[in-house]
Amino acid sequence: MLEVTGLRVAYGGIQAVRGITFHVNQGEMVALIGANGAGKTSTLKALARLLNAAGGSVRYCGKEISRLEPHQLISEGIALVPEGRGVFPRMSIVENLLMGAYSRHDKDGIAADSAHVFSLFPRLKERSQQLAGTLSGGEQQMLAIGRALMSRPKLLLLDEPSMGLAPLMVQKIFEVIRTVADEGMTVLLVEQNAKLALEVSQRGYVMESGEITLTDEAAKLLANPKVREAYLGE
């Protein structure tokens, strides 16, 4: 579904991503793990067209998307839940969800999907008229994921959904991510929390200083001594 070949991202003269190649199959959840500064977020931003790639190709459903405008991706079926959540703080929960559905015009479908999001995150429903800026970090993460789902994406890109959250909240968020994946969503998950990410994914890629150094089935990566030492703190 997503095929990334030789992707490079540079900030000025500094290469953050040095020609990486990976793919995500339809219906699969793939984890991209690595330490802070390994280039994971730059990779996602380049996929979402928030950054210009310095080279390489990104093919999605057979179509080259690395030259699209950022606002065109969502109608292709790609939604990004950005690092740091990026909810609109001065808009209510409902309005944030409606922004997620901005590219759609089917009123009934939008209503049905927001009901679905509220069933995934009952806590959001209780506060639907509250401004997003007044929510806790975990609630904002729920909202960011819910908002991304509102576009009815085919491919969901998640950037560090566990960042800065209490363990209990992380668990809740990951339960929902798992649920969404089980419903058939294709997910690319970028995480520093390697254990968590690999536990919910089918396959994984390990990124180090802008390069992919290791790839395998998630369960095998979890058992890999190198990974255990470097990312699981053993």
Residue 217 CB, shortest distance to other proteins, in Å, is 31
Query: Token match 């280039």: residue?
Result: 39
Residues 47 and 58: beta-carbon distance below 8 Å:
yes
Query: Token match 């009952």: residue?
Result: 122
- Is residue 100 a contact residue for other proteins (CB under 8 A)? yes
Quick note: the x/- pattern for other proteins over 161-200, rule CB under 8 A, is ----------------------------------------
Q: What is the identity of the amino acid at 197?
A: A
Which is closer to other proteins, CB of 69 or CB of 234? 69
Which is closer to other proteins, CB of 103 or CB of 213? 103
Residue 105 CB, shortest distance to other proteins, in Å, is 9
End-to-end CA distance of the chain: 35
Residue 94 CB, shortest distance to other proteins, in Å, is 10
Residues 73 and 48: beta-carbon distance below 8 Å:
yes
Which is closer to other proteins, CB of 110 or CB of 218? 110
Residues 109 and 152: beta-carbon distance below 8 Å:
yes
How many angstroms separate the CA atoms of 118 and 120, rounded?
Answer: 5
Which is closer to other proteins, CB of 85 or CB of 203? 85
Residues 35-94 that bind other proteins (CB under 8 A): 48, 50, 69-75, 79-80, 82, 86, 88-91
Closest CA to 80 of 4, 153, 14: 153
* Strand arrangement, sheet containing 186-191: 78-81, 155-159, 186-191, 29-34, 203-208, 211-217
Residue 131 is classified by DSSP as B
Q: Which of 5, 21, 57, 103 binds other proteins (CB under 8 A)?
A: 103
Which is closer to other proteins, CB of 67 or CB of 71? 71
Q: How many residues bind other proteins (CB under 8 A)?
A: 25
Residues that bind other proteins (CB under 8 A): 48, 50, 69-75, 79-80, 82, 86, 88-91, 95, 98-100, 102-103, 147, 151
